[in-house]
Chain A
């Protein structure tokens, strides 16, 4: 078996008396969707921030592509191919849709400190950008200003920008949030195929989506991973049922 692209090894983080991460260990393997679920306040966002470099863990390491990146900045991790999407859409709102994806392609390619040639006429960047827009189905909106997009379209654009980053792994923080049934279905279909391109660590509240998509699931409760396994393992796990899914009927959870 090939080495996991991302390994989180014994990460702990405390904010004062609050232990937000307690020795968390998990990994992301090639070709899989690994879902991270947990109730509100379980520490999912704190964990994501430590993986992407927004927060430094008190203990433990983050290994990405065989490199210990624990002390790397967010930007350095992104350049290694850690492509994230944000829980709350985080785009350059004054820009057009196309400019936002070109921004991603430019960031990944480098050569930012160039002052003379118009970037929006750079054929190589435009090709990467338009390809990403086409993959998420936004190609007809490239001239729209990002602030004019619907919530769902912004989520799609987030994913499109991540696609331009020469991704070796995706970290997606609740990409389905607020999408509605149809949008969720479409995105699920897309993510299903995307895992072949690069594995996805998926933080998601939508249990139907998680159970339908994930190869493995980790359950985070009060800063601790209480279980990791396949969908069947997680459904059958009594700890998970009592702590998270609710005891009556795990199948009925929406």
Chain B
């Protein structure tokens, strides 16, 4: 077996075993910690689809994370207050059903990513970074100044949304849902990366002129990649809001975009499982270093510098070798 495959398997087994162990010794806090790691991993896998395969350095993925969060928040808020979301032209009511919320979160963030991508993909390099950042900031300030859904204070949802046949308030059961989503997302992204789309998208990152010379348009590839990427990160946002039973404009902040990018860089850009390692390591550092000092971000910064300077392939590059496999 290749080392990268083994690393992937180890990672997924740890993420399965650790929460089960925490459950058996009745440590719900550790399960919640694992849930955070898994949800962040999904967000990171989403960003990595655009960043790792397509080379699109987006500093605006907080926009999708937040839209997923607010999709959950707004729907659940209307359900818990028994008010309609819209009465005209058709009656739209809130919902406490997770599957419905997921679909809304995925569709909404995909549409926003499509619009955002259509405009920002006309630029490249540092301009693309700045435009995506600006879009996310627009959402941030908009939610802050929109009192209907809590404004700056955010929205609290009292009871976690429901999934048929499961008690979602039980940490290990909610964890199972998030872990299952991570597996599904990783599988689909892995297939897409090996499919015609992935081959052409990665080629566009490597050499745009080559892609045009074989009759394809890089812009279209990027736009589809950005849309899929946004949809995945939006799903993570909905799960994150359900984990906390709370949404606030913080989800839209540029720090959130930065953290998602940190998961990708820590784990290894372009590795399908990279963000999973990155998110797990991030949560671990946050927990361990955060216990030592409330200024733990200083240490995180030092580690990030070390990775960028000495281990460009992130954790995966260190352990599984530098070359990204293509076969």
Q: Which residues of A contact B (CB under 8 A)?
A: 52, 73-76, 78-79, 83-84, 86, 90-96, 99, 102-104, 106-108, 110-120, 122, 161, 164-165
Q: Chain B residues with Cβ under 8 A from A93's Cβ?
A: 206-207
> Does A84 lie within 8 Å of B213, measured CB to CB?
yes
> Does A96 lie within 8 Å of B326, measured CB to CB?
yes
24 pairs, A vs B, C-beta closer than 8 Å: A74-B212, A78-B213, A86-B209, A90-B209, A91-B207, A91-B210, A94-B202, A94-B324, A95-B326, A99-B326, A102-B199, A103-B199, A103-B211, A106-B214, A110-B215, A112-B196, A112-B197, A112-B200, A118-B195, A119-B194, A119-B199, A120-B327, A161-B213, A164-B214
Q: Chain B residues with Cβ under 8 A from A79's Cβ?
A: 215
Q: Chain B residues with Cβ under 8 A from A78's Cβ?
A: 212-215
Q: Chain A residues with Cβ under 8 A from B303's Cβ?
A: none
Q: State whether A108 and B215 are in contact (beta carbons under 8 Å apart), knowing that A95-B203, A120-B327 are contacts in the complex.
A: yes
> Does A106 lie within 8 Å of B196, measured CB to CB?
yes
**What distance in Å separates the Cβ of A249 from its nearest Cβ neighbour in chain B?**
39
Q: Which residues of B contact A (CB under 8 A)?
A: 188, 191-192, 194-200, 202-203, 206-207, 209-217, 221, 224, 324, 326-327
Q: Chain A residues with Cβ under 8 A from B214's Cβ?
A: 78, 103-104, 106-108, 161, 164-165
**What distance in Å separates the Cβ of B172 from its nearest Cβ neighbour in chain A?**
32
Smallest Cβ-Cβ distance to B270: which chain A residue:
A94
> Does B212 lie within 8 Å of A114, measured CB to CB?
no
> Does A90 lie within 8 Å of B207, measured CB to CB?
yes
**What distance in Å separates the Cβ of B272 from its nearest Cβ neighbour in chain A?**
14
> Does B221 lie within 8 Å of A118, measured CB to CB?
no
> Does B202 lie within 8 Å of A74, measured CB to CB?
no
> Does A107 lie within 8 Å of B206, measured CB to CB?
no
Q: Chain A residues with Cβ under 8 A from B216's Cβ?
A: 75, 107, 112
**What distance in Å separates the Cβ of A107 from its nearest Cβ neighbour in chain B?**
3
Point out the residue from A73, A108, A114, A164 that lies within 8 Å of B197, measured CB to CB: A114
> Does A114 lie within 8 Å of B196, measured CB to CB?
yes
* Given A74-B213, A75-B217, 8 additional A-B pairs, CB 8 A: A75-B215, A75-B216, A104-B214, A108-B214, A112-B197, A112-B221, A113-B196, A116-B192
* Separation of A122 and B194 alpha carbons in the complex (Å): 11
Q: State whether A119 and B215 are in contact (beta carbons under 8 Å apart), knowing that A92-B207, A96-B326, A112-B221 are contacts in the complex.
A: no
Q: Chain B residues with Cβ under 8 A from A118's Cβ?
A: 191, 194-195
* Separation of A104 and B210 alpha carbons in the complex (Å): 9
Q: Chain B residues with Cβ under 8 A from A106's Cβ?
A: 196, 199-200, 214
> Does B210 lie within 8 Å of A92, measured CB to CB?
yes
Q: Chain B residues with Cβ under 8 A from A103's Cβ?
A: 199-200, 203, 210-211, 214
* Separation of A86 and B212 alpha carbons in the complex (Å): 12
Smallest Cβ-Cβ distance to A93: which chain B residue:
B206
Q: Looking at B191, B212, B327, which has the most chain A CB atoms within 10 Å of its CB?
A: B212
Q: Looking at A90, A102, A110, which has the most chain B CB atoms within 10 Å of its CB?
A: A90
> Does B195 lie within 8 Å of A114, measured CB to CB?
yes
